[in-house]
Amino acid sequence: MKITMVGTGYVGLVTGTLFADRGNEVVCVDNNEEIIEDLNNGKVHIYEPGLERLVKNNLANGNLKFTYHLREPVLNSKVIFIAVGTPSDEDGSFDLRYVKSVAEEIGDILKDAEGFKVVVGKSTVPQGTYELVNNIFNNKLKGAKVRWGYVSNPETLAEGTAISDFAKPDRIIIGTHSDEAFRVMQELYHPFNIQSDRIIRGSPADAELAKLFSNTALATRIATINEFARIADITPEADMDIIRKMVCEDQRIGYKFMFPSPGYGGSCFPKDVQGLAARARENGYDPLLLSQIHHSNEAHKNYMGERVQKLLTGDKVNVAVWGLTFKPNTDDMRDAASVPIIERLIKEGARVVAYDPQDGKARQIFGDKVNFAEDKYAAVKDADALILLTEWKEFDAPDFDRLKELMQGNLIFDLRNRWLPKAANNHGFNYYGVGRNYPLQL
């Protein structure tokens, strides 16, 4: 099937590449000529395990192409995906300018098309956006020969595991009023749907809200356990890791996304939670619970930074940081907890040396305010404290003897609760986790 993917950000590039990898002819379009040139040379501008190899393979076999010209791909394609960015406005609402602009441009092009086209909304958008897009196409295509159907098909990928998520989806959400468009989408997704039928059909409104509900529900779980961790911090003898296991063994609750942390980040949770609540308020309902989730998460990040800063002493404290990205297996720094925490430490006079396996975007954010090390042990040399901020696998088994030799202080802040407190303290460290305090009594 011939496909046009408008947008080569995280969603567009992964989706387009995986469709190409199953034998479809995919053209990815972006107005950033530098990105297009890099992609045509096999250079991927985002980090996702396995993605660059797939891009190169499908460029080589001709299934995948990149261009900044939209007209020809749209006219030649059966399915046209809109996968452009929907950033947050200052009030937290979704900024739909790119969706509107692309929809209008596609509508103008389709005036010269014939046959049946499927237009797919892949960007994460607020509830009711399908009406906006439908109105644009209805106005643009009055009297045109082309027939079209609109589909809301939100992505269900997680950064770091996007390739496997797409190849083996737990569900494929398709929201459309058009039976013909639905049949096209069934055919398109068939290679990923052979073992069992994972397609769930509803209206475009159902699909838009389902995406927002999923991310809001997961963000709520993270915010909830982090608030309990703060309660555990002020409760003598409480250990959030033990409490978590006691609670999550309840099968009604489970372990997914129930782990204390310095707070959620990334491109989805912060934006989607705020955007959902903002659109609900526009429509006359103030969602009391949802409106507080983001505030709770940001307050938790501030609390983590304040807690670390209070336990550090001295005017020029040397702090080592392991991990900067908002989660492992990505280079994404959007709303990463590392940013407010490190900026707070720097403001208080700390010297920060950091290591992250994918630090390219972090270097752009921090500049010369942070010193970047080439490996994790180089980062801790002469450090008074070590902070674990991102749970990359290479940080799971630290050599505490080596850390003791390299560091001049003995403070460890495990903000992912990955390490055994007693193992750290038996080597002479003072260990602090999230809701679990085991400082060495000296």
DSSP string covering 355-424: E-TT-HHHHHHHGGGSEE-SSHHHHTTT-SEEEE-S--GGGSS--HHHHHHH-SS-EEEETT--S-HHHH
Which letter does DSSP use for residue 192 in this model? G
With beta carbons less than 8 A apart as the criterion, state whether 73 and 37 touch.
no
Tell how far CA 416 is from the center of its chain: 18
- Residue of 27, 109, 268, 293 marked active site: 268
Answer yes or no: 28 catalytic.
Answer: no
Give the side-chain half-sphere CA count within 13 A for 181. Answer: 24
Give the side-chain half-sphere CA count within 13 A for 362. Answer: 30
Sign of the four-CA dihedral 29, 30, 36, 39: negative
Backbone region of residue 295 per phi and psi (left: phi > 0; alpha: psi in -120 to 50; beta: other values): alpha
Contacts of 261 (CB under 8 A, 6+ apart): 222, 226, 337, 415, 416, 417, 434
| The two three-digit tokens of residue 17, written as one number | 């590449």
Which backbone phi and psi does 34 adopt, to 5 degrees? -65, -45
The C-alpha atoms of residue 179 and residue 176 are separated, in whole angstroms, by 8
The C-alpha atoms of residue 275 and residue 133 are separated, in whole angstroms, by 18
Contacts of 173 (CB under 8 A, 6+ apart): 152, 153, 154, 156, 200, 202, 207, 210, 211
The C-alpha atoms of residue 66 and residue 56 are separated, in whole angstroms, by 12
Going by C-alpha positions, the residue among 187, 192, 132, 205 that lies closest to residue 157 is: 192
Query: From residue 248, how far is each of 235, 245, 335 by CA, in Å?
Result: 20, 5, 27
Pairing of β 351-355 and β 318-322:
parallel
Cα-Cα-Cα-Cα dihedral of 101, 102, 106, 107, to 10°?
-40
Q: Which residues are marked as active site?
A: 268
